[in-house]
């Protein structure tokens, strides 16, 4: 599923800004509302692979260049895929792209120890929205719009969207979301639990950075262990979640950060900033 310009030397479509223990990753093809062209997707995957393998980077903000977060999948690529369905690979070519590229990025976000904060600066649709819903936190500017585009294109919720929607909206709410296909403004998205917080547009990245600072304020092992624990607990019963915690907690007892905190509390000193 290859599109024109899909090459390592393609012009940059993703910007990365590193600062100490955090990074801001910006989808940067604003003329097309950050549509998920092949070059953008592959550049994004390489960037995220680099960031999640860096132990010094504890949080990543994912956002887009105004006016949109992402318009979703590239219709030109979809048309080309349809036209090539009778070739040797058939639909397997589409499956491979969805799994390796779109799904690969979702797995990087969900499976890493790094905390991902989606900062929705404008309309978010399709796979771009799926990635935002996969992030550990999602905040939205007042200009953000959730665009349920799957149904109108004759597609199903994909790249983890069915999982995210049923857990936030329940089965009936997720089905209604799909059938209506209505654009959802930022305040409604917050009420539905699709985003955690809505802020003025000009404060979006500053608020995202505050969440990164909350991550930085906690011992690295605690956040890194809590992320997979909570994600696993979402799919288990109470007893299994309790068992996961029982296995994980003793490891925390072996860390210097925990020992220092206990000594501080026992000595009556105020915890250090």
Is residue 241, in this structure, part of any structural domain at all? yes
CB 13 within 8 A of CB 40: yes
Residues 111, 200, single domain; the answer is yes
Q: Which of 199, 197, 189, 140 is nearest to 165 (CA)?
A: 189
Structural domain tally of the chain?
A: 2
Quote the Cα angle for 49-55-61, to 5°. Answer: 60
Residues 152, 252, single domain; the answer is no
Please name the residue ranges forming H helices in the chain. Answer: 38-52, 75-83, 91-97, 103-111, 126-134, 161-180, 186-192, 204-217, 220-233, 238-253, 256-267
Q: What is the pLDDT of residue 264?
A: 81
Domain assignment of residue 105, given as a range: 14-217
Q: What pairs with residue 19 in β-bridges?
A: 22
Q: Which of 188, 126, 116, 123 is nearest to 160 (CA)?
A: 126
CB 160 within 8 A of CB 118: no
Counting as low any pLDDT under 50, the low residues of the chain are 1-5, 273
Residues 107, 213, single domain; the answer is yes
Taking the C-alpha atoms of residue 218 and residue 245, their distance in angstroms, rounded to an integer, is: 18
Residues 94, 168, single domain; the answer is yes
- CATH number, domain at 18? 3.90.226.10
Is residue 7, in this structure, part of any structural domain at all? no
Taking the C-alpha atoms of residue 62 and residue 24, their distance in angstroms, rounded to an integer, is: 6
pTM: 0.87
Residues 208, 231, single domain; the answer is no
Is residue 200, in this structure, part of any structural domain at all? yes
Pairing between strand 115-120 and 59-64? parallel
pLDDT tens-digit series, residues 163-193 = 999 999 999 999 999 999 999 999 999 999 9
Is residue 119, in this structure, part of any structural domain at all? yes
Residues 197, 242, single domain; the answer is no
Q: What is the pLDDT of residue 272?
A: 54
Q: What is the DSSP annotation of 130-145?
A: HHHHHSSEEEEETT-E
Q: Which tokens in the block code for residue 63?
A: 């956002």
Is residue 72 classed as helix, strand or coil in its secondary structure?
coil
Taking the C-alpha atoms of residue 101 and residue 43, their distance in angstroms, rounded to an integer, is: 10
**Which residues does 161 contact at the CB level (< 8 Å), separation at least 6?**
129, 130, 133, 150
pLDDT tens-digit series, residues 194-210 = 999 999 999 999 999 99
> If you search the block for the tokens 């220092």, which residue do you land on?
260
Residue 196 per-residue DSSP state: S
Residues 213, 227, single domain; the answer is no
Long-range contacts for 93-102 (Cβ within 8 Å, ≥24 apart)? 93/1, 94/1, 96/1, 97/1, 98/158, 98/159, 101/38, 101/41, 101/42, 101/45, 102/36, 102/41, 102/127, 102/130, 102/158, 102/159
């Amino acid at each position: 599923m290859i599109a024109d310009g899909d090459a390592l030397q393609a012009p940059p479509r993703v910007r990365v800004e590193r600062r100490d223990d955090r990074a801001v990753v910006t989808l940067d093809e604003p003329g097309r509302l950050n549509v998920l062209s092949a070059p953008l997707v592959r550049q994004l995957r390489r960037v995220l692979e680099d960031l999640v393998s860096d132990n010094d980077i504890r949080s990543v903000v994912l956002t887009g260049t105004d006016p949109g977060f992402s318009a979703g999948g590239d219709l030109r690529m979809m048309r080309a895929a349809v036209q090539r369905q009778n070739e040797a690979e058939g639909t397997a070519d589409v499956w491979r792209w969805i799994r390796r590229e779109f799904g690969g990025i979702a797995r990087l976000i969900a499976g890493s120890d790094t905390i991902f904060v989606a900062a929705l600066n404008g309309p978010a649709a399709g796979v771009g929205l799926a990635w935002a819903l996969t992030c550990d936190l999602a905040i939205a500017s007042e200009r953000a719009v959730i665009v349920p585009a799957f149904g109108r294109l004759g597609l199903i919720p994909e790249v983890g969207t069915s999982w995210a929607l049923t857990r936030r909206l329940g089965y009936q709410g997720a089905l209604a979301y799909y059938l209506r296909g209505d654009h959802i403004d930022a305040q409604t998205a917050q009420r539905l639990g699709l985003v955690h917080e809505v802020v003025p547009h000009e404060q979006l990245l500053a608020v995202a950075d505050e969440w990164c600072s909350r991550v930085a304020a906690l011992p690295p092992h605690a956040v890194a262990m809590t992320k997979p624990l909570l994600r696993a607990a979402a799919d288990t019963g109470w007893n299994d979640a309790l068992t996961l915690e029982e296995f994980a907690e003793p490891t925390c007892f072996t860390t210097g950060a925990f020992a220092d905190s206990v000594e501080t509390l026992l000595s009556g000193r105020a915890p250090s900033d």
